Structure 1
């Protein structure tokens, strides 16, 4: 079966051509720079401690003009069809995920310094990029044109989020600026500027686009988008690093402090009321996240090298995942069937059945890859994309692994 799947993958790549339909949709598409197949280092077995290697292929994505450059940021379209990335440059590359075709290189009249943040519109293929040049640019990814230039930050633009209705964009700056700006996505007008006291780590709109969640180093603040007033500020210990994640439904926020003195807590995202403290016998740590249906939350436990899920309403323990290394990142598939953990201090991803807690597979990166920076499932699919500290992006099809396992 492994040979059959590998041949299928190689055959798909060998038949990759630029058709008239491709060029009609993507006039700047090019075979040069397309994603390539390489042997994947995938292992499966009855547990993470007892595995056997699988003979599979995986897609790798690099900037073909300088493959030695590392990926700084990625963005995924809402429909899961497109992958955007930037590799230590002012250019943004956009690929079609199904066959790895490079459909666009965004650079003309673009940034003058490296790109550090990317976000697709939730309603089309408009893409926003944030850069060290202190600007954000709204692109027509299909035609490769600059639509809007968002100027006003005094420091690098390090985080971007689109509201779910697609009408507004939020950008966060770090360094000397430390502000969050709200922009009209149609006109590029700056609607409001929020002053924050720390670098912005992450921005996320609620599903109804009514409030914006801003994750800072030591706190998490929610702002009402109609009034721009701060509605809640979550901070467990003053001056201590705090990690947070909003539920997919936007009704709750889970926080995890770095300090050993506090536990993981779940809060009402509207009122700031503390709803639940997770009572685990050992200190839980980041990463923390909700499952797509909001029924459970997951957190890591470095003390015994596990990750655990708890019922997010009752606080009842659900599953314990026995990992081979501590983890820095976690991601559920959109259907909630699988959960992937990115190892800290190592370049592999461990995949588990989210419903049973059963180990499914381990995906190893290249030896030189370094730390895992981000792990994501493509929307509506079981395809896993991993961004490493060094080297190319790796894309693995979970279904291929499950066909063999």
Structure 2
């Protein structure tokens, strides 16, 4: 093995090693999720060199410089104030979802008007309209980090795979016998997963368009679905009050996470795939151990349904959004409440951390989105202007652009 070069990854902190083995170029990434501003760079490098043979004594000084660079990025204070850059009258009927590609140079919108549109973030210009579905386009995703494909799931029971550069429909995935309401690409972009009101999830081969396997076992509609970072496991959350953890290669059920008293609203992995957080209509959020399937703790504190749950990029903080109009931030390690977001006058349907983990954005039925400091619970900015409920919001990779999607048929770009 011969090391060629190092690549930095800022969010979450990590170093990617590009090396040559048997004339093939390969990569491996070292996660530095525990790196802090005050960590001793020499000690960090010593630990890395002990674990990774490619980091030889001759390379240690170079690695130290990279660690210091990551620490400088962590040190940057987030004082960014967002302003309204553009209002996009995106569709003739309400939007369903918005999503960025990895770099944030493009984003997509889905709508009740049966289309998905691809937009240029810098100019706000509409680049493509993806047409072909016969009903609502409800779930949408880019195949990040690549961004050359888009997948759309519809109430017409089909899922379509598109070339995001040309707008050509590559495959139509048929097999579900009810609405498709959630979907995702695996990180390798070799599979697309769809979850449906028919109680099944399906994995599709992106290259051939053929179904790879059907995940059966839920007795209620599947409304949430996500892969872990390595792509070897997928979780499905259902109205049957449970979350299922599946092995992607075999389609085998690994664990059923049982404990919630009502429907699941969302289920997500943390970054290293060791934990799962689940939100439920039973007003709680639960934290689960992936290896054992055991519930580690139940987070309480909301007076109404928990509608969304998300980890920060390092997997140390969890945020919940509730129909009671508040958000709560919990520490996954100590399992204590860190802060509470209060200020919205309507339910919060979505909460998302920025890549740095220094801000949370919430989308509410009160027609505003709000930016919060997750450590203090302070509201640092209110994004106003929509004339109806905001149901979707997203940060780009750098965390300096936000999209909000509303029932007023528009989405707004904030910078």
Give the TM-score category using the shorter length.
0.7 to 0.9
2:328 aligns with: 308
1:211-230 aligned at under 5 Å gives the runs: 211-217=233-239, 218-230=241-253
2:113 aligns with: 89
Tell me, yes or no, if structure 1 residue 359 matches structure 2 residue 379: yes
TM-score where L is the length of structure 2: 0.73
2:390 aligns with: 372
Distance 1:211 1:71, change over 3 A: same
Q: Does the 8 A contact of 1:82 with 1:96 survive in 2? A: yes
CA distance in 2: counterparts of 1:55 and 1:167, whole angstroms: 36
1:125-274 aligned at under 5 Å gives the runs: 125-174=148-197, 177-195=198-216, 196-217=218-239, 218-238=241-261, 240-246=262-268, 247-259=270-282, 263-274=284-295
Distance 1:69 1:256, change over 3 A: closer
CA distance in 2: counterparts of 1:138 and 1:290, whole angstroms: 28
- Cα RMSD, aligned residues only: 2.5
Deviation, structure 1 residue 306: 4.2
Structure 1, unaligned stretches of length 5 or more?
1-53, 398-405
Deviation, structure 1 residue 282: 7.1
Q: Does the 8 A contact of 2:344 with 2:366 survive in 1? A: no
TM-score where L is the length of structure 1: 0.75
Deviation, structure 1 residue 148: 1.5
Distance 1:115 1:328, change over 3 A: closer
CA distance in 1: counterparts of 2:333 and 2:82, whole angstroms: 42
Q: Does the 8 A contact of 1:74 with 1:118 survive in 2? A: yes
Aligned length: 330
Deviation, structure 1 residue 124: 3.1
Tell me, yes or no, if structure 1 residue 381 matches structure 2 residue 405: no
CA distance in 1: counterparts of 2:367 and 2:206, whole angstroms: 37
Residue 351 of structure 2 aligns to a residue in which SS?
strand
1:60 aligns with: 87
Deviation, structure 1 residue 225: 0.7
Distance 1:142 1:268, change over 3 A: same
1:99 aligns with: 123
CA distance in 2: counterparts of 1:77 and 1:281, whole angstroms: 33
CA distance in 1: counterparts of 2:188 and 2:351, whole angstroms: 26
